[in-house]
Amino acid sequence: MRDIVEPLRELGANLVAITPQLAEHNQSLIEKHRLNFDMLSDPGNAYAAELGLRFEVPPDVREIYSGFGIVLPKSNGDDSWTLPMPARLVVDGGGIVRVADIDPDYTRRPEPQKTLDDVKKLR
């Protein structure tokens, strides 16, 4: 996604990611992957819940995550064991969602170019 940040800016758009992770965890991710867009923190996945995009991680998957050292309560700062469903929204200047790509399968996400194309269509 970082490759389309400048083309988006040229179109007058911004790229923002929303994550349940605490800000300090976001910062290390930003540095590690040299991200050039803002990452906002959504404590407890509250905003994701408002959008109907929050789900609870099942106990068997929690065990798998823990085996890999992934402890959501530690990185997210609450004990809910919830995650947001992967979603990409294109929102216009008036705050109206014009395009939504949402898939419960986290491995299926739109290519960055689709985001850029969707923004171009709004112009």
pLDDT at 27: 87
Q: For residue 111, what is the domain's CATH number?
A: 3.40.30.10
Residues 15, 44: Cα–Cα separation, whole Å = 22
Domain count of the fold of the chain: 1
> Of 20, 13, 35, 7, which is closest to residue 98 (Cα–Cα)?
13
Q: pLDDT tens-digit profile of 5-59?
A: 999 999 999 999 999 999 888 888 899 999 999 999 999 999 999 999 999 999 9
Environment class of 81 (CB within 10 Å of its CB; exposed 0-12, middle 13-18, buried 19+): middle
Residue 23 belongs to what domain range? Answer: 2-122
pLDDT at position 59, please?
Answer: 95
Verdict on whether the full-model pTM lies above 0.75: yes
